[in-house]
Amino acid sequence: MAVKITSLDVAQRAGVSRSAVSRVYTPGASVSKSTAAKVRAAAGELGYRPNVLARSLITGRSRIIGLVVAYLENQFYPEAIEKLSHALQAQGYHVLVFMASNDEATTSQVIDELLDYQVDGIIAASVGLSNDLTRRCEDAGIPIVLFNRDQFDDRLSSVTSDNMAGGRKLAEFLVAGGHTRIAHIAGWEGASTQIDREAGFKAGLMEAGVKIVARGVGNFDFEHAKQAARDMFDRDDPPDAVFVANDHMAFAVMDVLRFDLGISVPGEVSVVGYDDVKLAAWASYDLTTVRQRANAMVRQAVDFLMTRLDHSDTAPRRVSIDGPLIIRGSARKPKGQAT
């Protein structure tokens, strides 16, 4: 039977105190480089691994952050999750990713599991939380940050792009391009991102004296967006431009227009999206879109969460981050606009 190696064994081999060994394996603890090198060398020789679960019982911290995501089809989220995971790991935290949905029952089950794992905090990416779920997390002392979603709850911090401003930029761009029959394909209508993007888009059109001539709903889903495009464009006198509420759906719309209906993009119809995922820059789509500044959003979300973990009485914060309009070839450019 193998003998269990303890931190005391490592301390004796390295010639340091047991507390020094503990500090080496405690993220953020103060320890000299020479001491850390001796401890890690001794641990390697002895085959020692620190007991993370035991340490969490002593410190009251699991060093685990729950990352809850509604869906991964949208290419924005795998990239954002990767960035969030790296940023949290750099702070000494492990990440548990849970899939949820926009129905309360599924989300409630996920929150129950997170509470069972005794996570230190939660980042919810495009997932809404009911008042009851928020209260349960608050009662357990678990701070929550909403990522790419907002909701009217003073207990929650949130980080989003400035969706209102982004929608307005797209409206101004299409109007400047001479479009008069402008349409919109919405995402899931319960999402704050959808609500704000459409509100900004309508406000920009209204200032130019233009109204939306057609509206469909794609629910942030590829197949739903394809059907919405067929319903909108397979008829007489279709729109000459469409704002699709995210890039993922915009790709579906462009595929239907070009390959199913034989409509030229941007010759007959201009298509614009929102997110600026990597696929948007591919030559096959070349999509004009508003960029969500994922790096800045991740920095803010992790900073909010770390602040709440260190100072539980810190007031929740909300921030929206402006993103630039990225002009490519999927939409007609205004006269005089550089190519």
| Domain presence at residue 233 | yes
Does some domain include residue 333? Answer: no
Please check whether residue 148 lies inside any domain of the structure: yes
Task: Determine the pLDDT at residue 124.
Answer: 86
The number of distinct structural domains making up the chain is 3
d(CA 280, CA 297): 19
Question: Do 282 and 308 fall into the same domain?
Answer: no
85 neighbors 125 (Cβ within 8 angstroms): no
Distance between CA atoms of 232 and 185, rounded to whole angstroms?
9
Task: Judge whether 129 lies within some domain.
Answer: yes
* 228-244 tens-digit pLDDT: 999 999 888 999 999 99
Q: Is residue 143 part of a domain?
A: yes
- Domain CATH for 86: 3.40.50.2300
Instruction: Please give the chain's pLDDT, 339 residues, in tens.
Output: 556 788 888 889 889 888 888 788 776 678 888 898 988 998 888 888 776 555 555 555 678 898 888 878 889 999 999 999 999 999 888 898 888 776 667 777 887 887 787 889 989 887 776 677 777 878 888 888 999 988 877 788 899 999 999 999 999 999 999 999 999 999 999 889 999 999 999 999 999 999 999 999 999 999 999 999 999 998 889 999 999 999 999 999 999 999 999 999 999 999 999 999 999 999 999 999 999 999 999 999 999 999 999 888 888 889 999 999 999 999 999 986 655
Same domain, residue pair 241 and 311: no
Considering the domain architecture, whether residues 277 and 188 belong to the same structural domain is answered as yes
> Is there a single domain that holds both residue 15 and residue 117?
no
Kindly give the pairing relationship between strand 288-291 and strand 325-326: antiparallel
Distance in angstroms (rounded) separating the CA atoms of residues 163 and 88: 25
- Same structural domain for residues 80 and 189? no
Report the alpha-carbon distance of residue 299 to residue 304 in Å, rounded: 9
Query: What's the order of all strands across the beta sheet hosting 270-275?
Result: 212-217, 182-186, 241-244, 270-275, 288-291, 325-326
120 and 236 co-located in one domain: no
| One domain for residues 167 and 287 | yes
* Full residue range of the structural domain in which residue 250 is found: 163-292
List all residues 6 or more positions away from 72 whose beta carbon is below 8 Å from its beta carbon: 78, 81, 99
Name residue 325's beta-bridge partners. 290
Say yes or no: 222 and 314 in one domain: no
- Residue 281 to residue 329: CA distance in whole angstroms: 10
128 and 194, same structural domain? no
Contact between 60 and 42 under an 8 Å Cβ cutoff? The reply is: no
Q: What was the pLDDT predicted at 138?
A: 80
Same domain, 17 and 136: no
The three-state secondary structure class of 172 is: helix
Burial pattern 60-76, b for ≥16 Cβ within 10 A else e, equals ebbbbbbbbbbbeebbb
Predicted pLDDT of residue 28: 67
pLDDT at 133: 73
Within the chain, how many helices (H) and strands (E) appear?
A: 12, 12
Domain contains 56: no
Confidence (pLDDT) at 30: 82
Do 157 and 120 reside in the same domain of the chain? yes
Residue 194 structure tokens: 């959808």
Q: Report yes or no: 55 and 23 within 8 Å, Cβ to Cβ.
A: no
d(CA 316, CA 322): 20
